[in-house]
Amino acid sequence: MRWQKEFTLYLGAIAVFAGVVLWAQGASPVVLTVFGGLFLVMLAAFVWRVARPHRVLVVGSPSPALGALDGTLEALGYEVRRCAGPSNRPCPVFQGHPCPMTERPVAAIVFREVDEVGRYAPCGAAFSIPEVIVEEHLDAEPATVGRMTRVGFDHGPDPVIVAMEKMLT
């Protein structure tokens, strides 16, 4: 996600530089207006990308581990939204209804307890966003299939956030 912001800003800078070069060479006002407009569009796109909050949906029962994950995400600038998950209440997506969360997250992190069984929460599919499944006591390397990654939580929140950010880029 960060590269998209930088890329937009670089395109705007290139448009300004091209406009200045064309102005110095005596280009027509129409051409200069086109490059000025291009710069303003790129600047507006950059501001929109930076100003928009990046929400992450964290699904699972409240626990100290999820508290640490929430704190780390917030420290990195993400806005955290919580859901208790299908093991704690009926999930409307499993019943064929839309998810009641009206704010669009950029990723979903689904935390599963050791003894939890059943299907994974379908948050990624419901919003068409990347989903990171976090399982306690999973020592394997993160495994990615499509837009879903499974990662262990034994080493703290950092591997979870790295897996999520890899899927966002």
pLDDT in tens, 30-56: 988 888 888 888 778 777 766 667 888
What per-residue confidence (pLDDT) applies to 1? 47
Distance set, CA 74 to CA 11, 57, 104, 158, 160 (Å)? 30, 12, 17, 13, 14
Tell me the sheet residues that pair with 35: none
140's torsion region: left (phi>0), alpha (psi -120 to 50) or beta?
A: beta
Residues 168, 106 contacting (CB under 8 angstroms)? yes
What per-residue confidence (pLDDT) applies to 5? 64
Rounded to an integer, the average pLDDT of 137-156 is 78
Domain boundaries, the chain: 2-51, 55-168
Rounded to an integer, the average pLDDT of 57-65 is 83
Rounded to an integer, the average pLDDT of 121-144 is 80
Share the mean pLDDT of the chain.
Answer: 80
Distance CA(123)–CA(93), nearest Å, equals: 8
The CATH class that applies to domain 55-168 reads: alpha beta
Is the pLDDT assigned to residue 2 strictly greater than 70? Answer: no
What per-residue confidence (pLDDT) applies to 51? 67
Rounded to an integer, the average pLDDT of 137-160 is 79
Is the pLDDT assigned to residue 10 strictly greater than 60? Answer: yes
Rounded to an integer, the average pLDDT of 47-74 is 81
Residues 133, 120 contacting (CB under 8 angstroms)? yes
What per-residue confidence (pLDDT) applies to 142? 73
